[in-house]
Amino acid sequence: MKVVAILGTLDTKGAEFAWLKARVEAEGAATLVIDVGILDAPAFAPDITADEIARAAGADLAALRERGDRGEAVAAMAKGAAEIVARLDAEGRIDGIVSMGGGGGTAIATAAMRALPVGVPKLMMSTLAAGDVRAYVGVSDVTMMPAVVDVAGINRVSARIIANAAAAIAGMVKAAPPALAGDKPLIAATMFGVTTPCVTRARAVLEAAGYEVLVFHATGTGGESMEALIRAGFIAGVLDLTTTELADELAGGVLSAGPHRLEAAGEMGIPQVVSVGALDMVNFGAPETIPAKFADRIFYRHNPQVTLMRTTAAENAELGAIVARKLAGAKGLTTLMLPLRGVSLIDVEGKPFHDPAADRALFDALRANLSANVGLVEIDTDINDDIFAERAAELLLAKLE
């Protein structure tokens, strides 16, 4: 029988977790209950106690309670929960995990969930799930489920939501893994809406050559997820044609992947073909969310929730230097490709972000700063031309083979 780990604060939400446990078992899965309560004794006996969780973090539960520092206690229990849950998974004792809670409970439980491998079912029913959950999900596959009402008592609303959560996690752990061929080498590729034709064509070439291509949407978390998988050793080669997240990091857009984007493949010595896809844009939300300092810039309304801002020549020159600097440290075979007629679907003649001077600043900075370990290929097409896409795939295949 599949086993679901139920992790929660049994001191303050004991009745709610007892209901969740009963519902998961009614759905045909076994349970293993982990208590991370920091205030008092649990409402019912768990399989793993809060004291064990605290010790796994190098802390003493009684001392945490005596000091009464909630922030310290949450941090300790999050650390301990991650240690214990990862160990349970490694020992084959659990098949998935579910939790529910508010701010503290969500922080502790999702820290434990992020310690599990991608593919292990993870469900967090949270009062915070309708907001920005990036801090809780990170680069993992945690499923966030809105609690609708607070996790405070069993009532007509909470009973149904908790029952749904139980059915969801039980269904996840009992579902048979898809029967897909697992021996194909994995290629990571980056794509944005404005580079989709390029990556779609390149992916077809790579798949025809016997590789499996994982495409990451370059929305900040996409780039972070890709680089985490690279560092974890899953990826054989990288087709990083859409490096737009660097523009958001530089200019303060909403889709930054952080300061270490475009570094993992180089550090791991993995073959990579890199380009400058969508470096013509910085991403913001609806127009009213754009900082006032950008009032005189060129914008394009991508959809009601996304507004794109054209990067300037000065920003492009700085981005060129950043890309060159990051690639200089690459330990593996690396090629940079430049599409001389446009870096996105809207950076071509007749489109709103067409700006040859800004593109030229990007290309000139790259040429001036690129180190000798990086090959440079310039193609007189835009990035979405089939010629460019096929050449990118062929260059990566040559490095892999």
pLDDT tens digits along 72-92: 999 999 999 999 999 999 999
Residues 157 and 196 in one domain: no
Residues 124 and 144 in one domain: yes
Cβ density class 7-22: b for 16+ within 10 Å, e for less: bbbbbbbbebbbbbbe
pLDDT digits 0-9 by tens, 234-255: 899 999 999 999 999 999 999 9
Lowest mean pLDDT among 42-46, 267-271, 322-326, 388-392: 42-46
**Separation of alpha carbons 19 and 26, rounded Å:** 10
**Closest among 318, 312, 304, 346 to 195, alpha carbons compared:** 346
Q: What is the pLDDT of residue 179?
A: 67
Residue 48 lies in a domain: yes
Q: What is the pLDDT of residue 264?
A: 97
Residues 136 and 272 in one domain: no
Q: What is the pLDDT of residue 39?
A: 86
| 46 close to 184: Cβ distance less than 8 angstroms | no
Residue 181 lies in a domain: no
pLDDT digits 0-9 by tens, 106-150: 999 999 999 998 889 999 999 999 888 888 998 889 999 999 998
**Closest among 200, 304, 192 to 248, alpha carbons compared:** 192
Q: How confident is the model at residue 67 (pLDDT cuts 50, 70, 90)?
A: confident
Residue 363 lies in a domain: yes
Q: What is the pLDDT of residue 107?
A: 94
Q: What is the pLDDT of residue 130?
A: 84
Q: What is the pLDDT of residue 135?
A: 87
Residue 244 lies in a domain: yes
Residues 118 and 157 in one domain: yes
**Separation of alpha carbons 395 and 337, rounded Å:** 10
Q: How high is the mean pLDDT of the chain? A: 95
Residues 146 and 211 in one domain: no
Sign of the CA dihedral 207, 211, 212, 213?
negative
| CATH assignment of the domain containing 17 | 3.40.50.12020
Q: What is the pLDDT of residue 183?
A: 73
Give yes or no for residue 181 having a pLDDT over 80: no
Cβ density class 153-164: b for 16+ within 10 Å, e for less: eeeeebeebbbe
**Structural domain ending residue among the three candidates 117, 152, 174:** 174
Average pLDDT of span 44-50: 95
pLDDT digits 0-9 by tens, 251-285: 999 999 999 999 999 999 999 999 999 999 999 99
**Structural domain ending residue among the three candidates 141, 174, 207:** 174
Residues 118 and 200 in one domain: no
Amino acid at 69: D
Residues 280 and 160 in one domain: no
Residue 179 lies in a domain: no
Residues 92 and 213 in one domain: no
In the chain, how many domains are there? 2
**Separation of alpha carbons 126 and 123, rounded Å:** 9
Residue 334 lies in a domain: yes
Give yes or no for residue 41 having a pLDDT over 60: yes
175 Cβ contact list (under 8 Å, min separation 6)? none
Q: Which domain holds residue 101?
A: 3-174
Q: What is the pLDDT of residue 182?
A: 62
Average pLDDT of span 185-205: 96
Residues 305 and 237 in one domain: yes
Residues 161 and 203 in one domain: no
Rg (CA), the chain: 24
- Which two three-digit tokens encode residue 63? 């001392």
Q: What is the pLDDT of residue 30?
A: 97
**Separation of alpha carbons 30 and 169, rounded Å:** 11
